[in-house]
A and B are shown apart, each in its own frame.
Chain A
Amino acid sequence: MLGHHSLPAASPENAPVIAIRGLWTRFGETVVHRDIDLTVAAGEMLGLVGGSGSGKTTLLREIVGLLAPSQGTVELFGSPVQSDDPELRRRVRRRFGMLFQQGALYSALSVADNIAFPLRELRQLDEDLINDLVRVKLAMVELEPSHGALMPAELSGGMVKRVALARALALEPELLVLDEPTAGLDPDRSASFVTLIRTLQRELGFSVVMVTHDLDTLAGLATRVAALADQRIVACGTLAEVASMDHPFTRRFFASERAQAALQAAAR
């Protein structure tokens, strides 16, 4: 009945959401990642942390297939991200949504058209249904239907993030990829954005991978934390486990007073 069930290499039901195996990244002589292995199971919320220049964002771009690793494989839902088959590639890409750091909203399209864009690209839904869906998505991210007519240039930073989140959720993704979800937001907005993502995750059940340097975001969202340092993943576990690791990076990262406060808040 459904076309893609008959296609080869369809993802096995129990495959992990993300499976990275033996990943190396080199830019010229510089080695960014050295033999990295990482898996994310369905429903998990993984936070990637690391110092600046440690290759967090590079790893994220390799996960979503914007960048090909020098060596090793990245599989999403059991299918390789860098596949030669364009049909398979598109199908994998439709199963996750990405929230870019600056929102990356299409500046020529209104908010409603930005959210409708991936839905229209499916060419399966009629215009009425798309309009209704856009309003559902806007309501999900706590925006009014009237905001749909605004242009991205007219939005505040917090609203840009919300609209970008609505667009990332448009295709009902099973994985949400967040690049610095709370960067550029004030602490109040940042906290409410974290709450929003957590509420949506509970309702919709998607998995999350995020890069962040904000400990409150990490404590509020991540069920598992992976720390990148010295070109490898030096620690992977719950926030408390990673924080108590004895490694120069984690010691520095979790040492500050604010970090301690965030950790205590997470423990409560």
Chain B
Amino acid sequence: MSPATLDDEVQGGLVQARLAGDWTLATLGPQLSVLDARLRQLNARSAHWDLRAVTRLDSVGALLLWRAWGERWPDETAISETHRRVLVRAAGVTLPVRAVRAPYDPATPLLLVGRGTLTLLEHSLGVIALIGQIVLDLIYLIGHPRDIPWREFSATLYKSGAQALPVVALVGFLIGVVLSYLSSLQLKTFGADVFIVNLLGISVIRELGPVLVAVLVAGRSGSAMTAQIGVMRVTEEIDALATMGISSSLRLVLPKVLALSLATPLLVLWCSAAGMLGGMVSAHLEMGLSYAYFIDTLPKVVPVANIFIGLGKGVAFGVLVGLVACYFGLRVRPNTESLSAGTTSSVVTSITAVIIVDAVFAVLTRSQGIP
């Protein structure tokens, strides 16, 4: 590789520009702007160009020259035939109109809101269509019980339910401990220590257990489902299923949604139990409340309706997370960006929807389960 050089001299009133060496990306790179300025300057003095000593010319060098020449051939150019072809190729590229920035439109915020609303509407319609498809699949399965996808159902149950037990227990236990500890500090100042059982029982069984499990399931299983279905779309596996006459909604979506609707309430029960245990241990250590008293009081102050509310929430959240995960998975387009965006939307939407549905539950069950 010989460096690119540019010499100029004045001969009989004429400016002679002599180029030599390799005019390639590798040699030009660091000194591009310097050479560019000198070339333009020489062109302004209508120099005669001598390129015969150039050993290599690539498209970077050619474009540099062509732009310096004001995108036309100078009057006097000495150049080898090979290099002329390279230059002609670079010159053949028509210049596009440089993008002009659009002026500010006062309606832009309005358009944004409108577009957002339309997207929301589109997603809602999509989810409703998916629910409809699942209902149709369920009706079909009643007539054809042999087609029930047991294997997929049990696989999802194992992956999303059984394998989630340790992490759910850990989270539930720690939340119970923390909640019990913080409440006991407050209750002690009122001398109302014994109400720790009421407080923990209602808040964990009715509210925290279901929501915590739903968030864990959305993050653990929902994201995995979206990614799995998304990759199956990218690799055309879903199309392969369709060509074999197998309904993707029946094989992929239905078992996932059903398995989650069974696994989530069970996890809620498990999480609430762990939370109670953590709260009980913490109350014992912090306030000296005996285990026997805790276990004895719990059923008296927390009506059994709370467990059913918790279980009901579990079913609803499970179905919700499953539906949202599958919906966003099926919408993935065949590129990596879409896959990551779909997974993010899936988890964010699931968690948001869970909180909203939880609020609806709170309003609907406000007269239930309070002693």
Contact = CB atoms under 8 A, between A and B. Distances in A.
A172 B334 contact: no
Contact of B336 (A107, A133, A172): A107
A220 interface: no
A131 B31 CA distance: 19
Nearest to B66: A132
A125 B93 contact: no
B29 A139 contact: no
18 contacts: A2-B3, A5-B1, A94-B26, A107-B336, A122-B29, A129-B67, A132-B63, A132-B67, A135-B94, A136-B63, A136-B89, A136-B90, A152-B335, A153-B333, A171-B25, A172-B25, A172-B60, A203-B82
B94 A145 contact: yes
A122 B60 CA distance: 13
Classify the secondary structure of A's interface with B. helix
Interface of A: 1-3, 5, 13, 94-95, 106-108, 122, 124-125, 129, 131-133, 135-137, 139-140, 145, 151-153, 171-172, 203-204
Nearest to B25: A172
B337 interface: yes
Interface string B20-40: 000011110111100000000
**How big is chain B's contact interface, by range?**
20 to 34
B213 to A, nearest CB: 34
B304 to A, nearest CB: 53
Nearest to B32: A124
Contact of A125 (B26, B32, B85, B335): B32
Nearest to A132: B63
Given A5-B1, A140-B59, A145-B94, 9 more contacts: A107-B337, A108-B335, A129-B67, A132-B93, A135-B96, A136-B62, A136-B63, A136-B89, A136-B93
B59 to A, nearest CB: 5
A13 B56 CA distance: 14
Contacts of A152: 335
Looking at A95, A136, A153, which has the most chain B CB atoms within 10 Å of its CB?
Answer: A136
B193 interface: no
Interface string B169-205: 0000000000000000000000000000000000000
B64 A172 contact: no
Contact of B59 (A1, A131, A137): A137
Contacts of A2: 3, 27, 30-31
A133 B29 CA distance: 14
B58 A204 contact: yes
B86 interface: yes
Interface string B75-110: 000000010011001101111100000000000000
B80 to A, nearest CB: 13
Nearest first, the 10 A-B pairs at minimum CB distance are A107-B335, A108-B337, A135-B93, A124-B29, A172-B58, A136-B59, A153-B334, A172-B25, A107-B336, A132-B63
